[in-house]
Chain A
Amino acid sequence: MSGLTLRFKAPATERITLAGITPSKLSALSSHEIANITVGIEKDGIALGDAFDISGSSGESLTIEGATPEIDFIGGDLDGGTMRVIGNVGSYAARKMSGGKLEIRGNVGDFLASGTTGGMIHVSGNVGDNLGGVVTGERFGMLGGTAVIEGNVGTRAGDKMRRGTVVVRGKTGPGTGSRMIGGTIWAEGGFGPEPGLMMRRGTLIGPSVDSLLPTFVDCGKHDLVIIRVIARYLKTTLGDLAPKPMPLFVQKIGGDTATIGRGEIILPA
């Protein structure tokens, strides 16, 4: 598979933003044009060719090596192909991503998958706050696609999330699924305190929850067909990355009844 490799020349003198640096965009540009793309955020800017050693030829894939948390918006606007990132990255990774695959071998900052509408995100490490969360000035957080986080995630994951699926192999922080409008978060390591504040719809699935808000109510133990459909879908699309299926009977906790209360927290019965 042909592809470009960008090796970061650390340390950076300013924050780097890689929004729109995608395989499809780079494959339409000459190597001279690629090297001249501005990726700095300060007045004079910094060119891609100054911040990174560029090798290979542009194609279906893009590899970023030696990434550091100074790099934001990695995988932003990704619409196809594969992006591989080695190292820890900053915030807003996969912002408004619509397709393709973003694989990050490292930890990720805040607001991963904000405004994402499609594609597959795989993070081998931990993720900061507001995973799939809404950005100030917008109506929704994550809008589609799938994100698999092998580690733990911070607070308020899925804030105003509308669609899409998030699988967390570790544990989520406080306030997961706050203001959630739809979509699914499956946390194999369980949920931190008080998930689902003002959650309208959507599904949180996990083995445990640290504490519940008083506005969440027990709806009883059920054999829910949709949980099996979700489990099978994840097994088909994610293979070994899929979470272990839930037991046949699950406990449904409905809420947030402080709003319309069509959301749910699904725990083993």
Chain B
Amino acid sequence: MSMTVNGITIDDTFAEAFGMSGTGIIITADSMKWAKIAATVATGFGTSVIGAGAECGIDKELTEDETPDGRPGVRILIFGFSPDALLPQVRNRIGQCVLTSPGSACYAGLKAEKSMPLGKGTRLFGDGYQTAKKLGDSRYWRVPVMDGEFVIEEETGVTTDAVGGGNMLIVGRDRKGLLETAEDAVAAIAKIDDVITPFPGGIVRSGSKVGAKYAGMHASTNDAFCPTLRGTIKHSEVSPDTLAVLEIVIDGLTSKAVADAMRAGLKAVTAIGAKRGVTRITAGNYGGKLGQHHYHLKDLI
């Protein structure tokens, strides 16, 4: 049975999410502006593991008191299928996007039982002029660069308890109002620690289903939720007054963080959405057989 909250229909369904591996990295710089530039570039093209290799985003901004070097910084999260799959992603993103960014430094952003290389490969850029400094259990590499030294911690933590693909589909009859509401939901989710929304601005307009009629395509358009196909396909899920559907996908380091993020997102949508033309919230799943994690919308309202 679906329910109605503030005039918005909440489907009796669940978001189906998958176990993933995730890591956290702290990027600092001389100013928050440059920390964010490095973090934004390092997490760029990190929307879906299907095509981008990793799902990445900025988790939160850190004050001077929260970073290892007392400078402003941000914490980014990177998710992949396995720790091994994360390895080249972390190496390349840090090597190409953080090492190169003026004034940057890079530290472990996750404490976990398992660890993975962070600066182990990047240090070799120092061509023998790099030096290490071990403080407690952490080893920091100092790589001479043209604006001073790039400091990077040797390892960061990696968890295999991460969850990828928590989601909600927001259905509406006004595109502008729908987008504004989705933006509010993304902003509410951003306040939750240990989660990211990896798609552009946190929002996906091209929700997908598994498989396609074409060989080699692992995913294709979620036709049941394409408003322009209503009427021409029998399995359409959209009602006559629906103009658009937007999806928010959430990756988190723990299942609880993903649930908290979905709860925050649903609260934001139901608080204001009806006035902006939002009519319904549903979620994406594959019948419950593929993903280990199920988030029932009714439990999160």
Chain A residues packing against B (C-beta within 8 Å)? 144, 163, 165, 182-184, 201, 203, 222-226, 228-233, 237, 262
Contacts and interface: CB of A to CB of B under 8 A. Distances in A.
Interface stretch (B111-119, B132-140, B155-163): B132-140
B258 to A, nearest CB: 31
B246 interface: no
A223 B69 contact: no
Interface residues of B, number: 18
Contacts of A228: 69-71
Nearest to B103: A225
Interface of B is mostly: strand
19 contacts: A182-B132, A183-B134, A203-B133, A225-B69, A225-B71, A225-B148, A225-B149, A226-B133, A226-B142, A226-B149, A226-B151, A228-B70, A229-B133, A229-B140, A229-B151, A230-B135, A233-B136, A237-B136, A262-B131
B68 A226 contact: no
Which 10 pairs show the lowest CB-CB distances between chains A and B? A233-B135, A228-B69, A225-B151, A229-B69, A225-B105, A228-B70, A225-B69, A163-B134, A226-B142, A226-B151
Contact of B133 (A223, A230, A232): A230
Given A163-B134, A232-B70, A262-B131, 17 more contacts: A144-B134, A182-B132, A183-B134, A184-B133, A201-B131, A203-B133, A225-B105, A225-B148, A225-B149, A229-B68, A229-B69, A229-B105, A229-B135, A230-B135, A233-B135, A237-B136, A262-B129
A182 B131 CA distance: 9
Nearest to A233: B135
Interface of B: 28, 68-71, 105, 129, 131-136, 140, 142, 148-149, 151
Contacts of B135: 165, 184, 229-230, 233
Contacts of A163: 134
B3 to A, nearest CB: 49
A184 B28 CA distance: 23
A173 to B, nearest CB: 24
A265 B12 CA distance: 67
Nearest to B135: A233
A231 B135 CA distance: 11
Contacts of A183: 134
Residue of B68, B71, B135, B149 ringed by the most chain A CB atoms within 10 A: B135
